[in-house]
């Protein structure tokens, strides 16, 4: 059996008020964080990582293409021998 805690009168819940309060609080928090970050934000390392990631992606594709070419070359050698 659970014990129920009795409390005083409860305010009426109004969804639009709750959403507005939450939205305003979130905006304030984001704007505060954004202002702090703006002083220390440097995107140069991000851009370098993205450039390196693109390069690695292309190298991975090239390795697959090179492997496929070697496979085709091996099939050509085998077909010439017979």
CA 15/CA 19 separation, integer angstroms = 6
- The enclosing H or E element of 62 equals helix 44-81
The model's pTM: 0.43
Place of tokens 């304030």: 28
CA 72/CA 63 separation, integer angstroms = 14
Q: What is the pLDDT of residue 34?
A: 73
- Residue spans per domain, the chain: 17-81
Per-residue pLDDT of the chain (82 residues; tens, 9 = 90+): 556 666 777 778 888 988 999 999 999 988 887 777 666 667 888 899 999 999 999 999 999 999 999 999 988 888 777 6
């Amino acid at each position: 059996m659970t014990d129920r805690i009795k409390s005083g009168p409860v305010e009426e819940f109004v969804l639009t008020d709750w959403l507005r309060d939450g939205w305003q609080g979130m905006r304030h928090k984001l704007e505060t964080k954004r202002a702090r970050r703006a002083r220390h934000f440097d995107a140069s390392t991000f851009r370098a990582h993205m450039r390196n990631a693109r390069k690695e992606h292309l190298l991975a594709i090239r390795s697959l293409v090179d492997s496929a070419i070697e496979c085709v070359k091996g099939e050509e050698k085998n077909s010439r021998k017979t």
